[in-house]
Amino acid sequence: MINKWLSYVAAFFLYLVSLLPLRVLYLLSDFAFIIIFYVIKYRRKVVRENLVNSFPEKSEEEINGIEKRFFRYLADLIFETVKMLSISEKEVFRRFTFTNTELLRKFESQNKSCLLAVGHYGNWEWCTIVTPLIVKSKPLIIYKPLNNNIFNEVFKRAREKSGTLMVRMKMTLREMARFKNQLTVTVFAADQTPALADPHEWIKFLNQPTAIFMGIEKIARSTNYPVIFCDLNRVKRGYYSCDFKLVHDNPATTTDKEITLKHAKILENRIKQKPEFWLWSHKRWKFKPAANTTIHE
């Protein structure tokens, strides 16, 4: 009971913080970076190991630079996520530039629902707010709930403020079936680490064997919904771009793993261009393949 009330108090405090202008939040972010990077040293070992394994060709100086820039961005991302609690859809939309939106409109004109793959790159959270503003289809965002039910509900409401429907991962097929007679764009995190019990394959991603969900591909091939990748990029502090890239417009005709390998390659190319904006603190490679496992490229 005490933990529940503490969660309510913390959530209310975060809401009050979110009311501050972004320019003030970025000042707090500058201070938070110092605490996270130099004092707490939050997951620095994980980040360093991930970077070294992903970029063996880079010097120690280059790795150090990426690591430091990542933690600076992580601090920004934390406060931008808090800002979600009060920021308007109009303000988020003003901070995004979209290209190739005609791809989405083309499929809508053909009365086709789509699957949208996105990585944990840039501010994917703000993307959930602006998606309903650029499509006529109903956006379904597949997500993994937070362990804290109160915080989960608070941020779920923030994400749904513009018309998005947040769908728990285990409810994906049921909710997609519920909306089968309505145009939808279903958004998946393409780089989520699967549990070993979940359907997955092993691919070479960022220079190492990586377990990857096959859910997007399996659903695409069974429904023949076109697959599009949301290629996010950070333009400058507080501003982002999103380029919609076609993965495949006729998934039923694809070969096994074709869709998965293609959307993984798009994300990998983006990460290589500006590595500091990917979520390196995530334990993406905590699982290792068995000795006889095939690694697909």
Task: For 153-210, write each residue's pLDDT tens digit.
Answer: 988 999 988 889 999 999 999 999 999 999 999 999 999 888 777 768 999 999 999 9
Task: For 25-38, write each residue's pLDDT tens digit.
Answer: 999 999 999 999 99
161 touches 131 (CB < 8 A): no
Backbone angles phi, psi at 260, to 5 degrees: -60, -45
CA-to-CA dists, residue 210 to 124, 205, 258, angstroms: 21, 6, 16
Q: How many CB atoms lie within 10 A of CB 93?
A: 15
Task: For 229-283, write each residue's pLDDT tens digit.
Answer: 999 999 999 999 999 999 999 999 999 999 999 999 999 999 999 999 999 999 9
CA 261 to chain centroid = 17
In the predicted model, what is the mean pLDDT of the chain? 94
The model's confidence at residue 146, banded by pLDDT at 50, 70 and 90, is: confident
pLDDT of 53 reads: 97
pLDDT score of 20 more than 80: yes
Distant-in-sequence, close-in-space partners of 250: CB < 8 Å, separation ≥ 6: 224, 226
Considering the entire predicted model, what is its pTM?
A: 0.93
